Amino acid sequence: MIDKVDHKILEILQNTGRDSASHIATEIGMSVPAVSERIHKLEESGIISGYEAIVDPKKVGLDVAAIITLVSESSRNFDEIVKLANETQEVVQCFTTTGAGSHLLIVNTENSESLEWLLREIQSWPGVLRTETQLILSSYKAGHHIKIP
């Protein structure tokens, strides 16, 4: 588990992942080496799994976002579906789910034509019986910021 200091460090990093250890140390009243060591431990333990730039898909020409639910024949092709989802550039997130579908994909494509092409590709994956697609019209909250208990 994490203590209150780690909690504060994580909150700062989730809000502005580019803050230096020096800035974080000033914010929480600790030395830079102590903060650096704590960040390193959070990374080593997997609590912090990485740092990345958040790119606006629309500003780089990816105008269509969709949620695709995969309905598969059985769990026999589970690993292959996950592998193919990870290899498909348009798939930005892949989840396994309960309910009618086995997997849920979040995708970004340039236009409806490229979405249609992607759907045909996904529908040819082993074990996929059908897909159900919902277009995302607007996004009001997105990201990986989580409330830490």
Q: Is residue 22 part of a domain?
A: yes
Kindly tell me if the per-residue pLDDT of 21 is higher than 80: yes
What mean pLDDT comes out for the span 134-141? 93
The CATH number of the domain where 19 resides is what? 1.10.10.10
Specify whether 11 is located in the same domain as 71: no
Q: Is residue 142 part of a domain?
A: no
Mean pLDDT, all residues of the chain: 93
Report the CATH number at residue 132. 3.30.70.920
Query: Minimal CA–CA distance to 79: which of 125, 117, 41, 115?
Result: 125
Examine residue 34 and state whether it is found in any structural domain, yes or no.
yes
| Mean pLDDT on 39-43 | 96
The share of the chain scoring above pLDDT 70, in percent, equals 100
Same domain, 61 and 128: yes
- 71 lies in the same domain as 96: yes
Range of the structural domain that residue 37 is part of:
4-44
Residue 62 covered by a domain:
yes
Q: What is the pLDDT of residue 7?
A: 93
How large is the angle between the packed helices 21-28 and 32-44, nearest 10 degrees? 110
Tell me the whole-structure pTM to 2 decimals. 0.83
Whether residue 144 is contained in a domain is answered as no
Reported confidence tier of residue 40, pLDDT bands at 50, 70, 90 = very high
9 within domain boundaries: yes
Three-state SS annotation for 70-119: EEECCHHHHHHHHHHHHHCCCEEEEEECCCCCCEEEEEEECCHHHHHHHH
Q: Is residue 51 part of a domain?
A: no
Residues 27 and 73 in one domain: no
Residues 31 and 70 in one domain: no
Taken in order 3, 38, 27, 12, the sign of the CA dihedral is negative
Q: Both 62 and 24 in a single domain?
A: no
Whether 71 and 37 map to the same domain: the answer is no
Residue 67's H or E segment, with its range, is strand 64-72
Number of domains in the chain: 2
Give the tens place of pLDDT for each residue, 64-106: 999 999 998 878 888 999 999 999 999 999 999 888 888 999 9
Same domain, 21 and 64: no
Helix (H, G, I), strand (E, B) or coil at 135: strand
101 closest CA partner among 120, 78, 121, 118: 78
In a domain, 26, yes or no: yes
* 46 DSSP 8-state letter: T
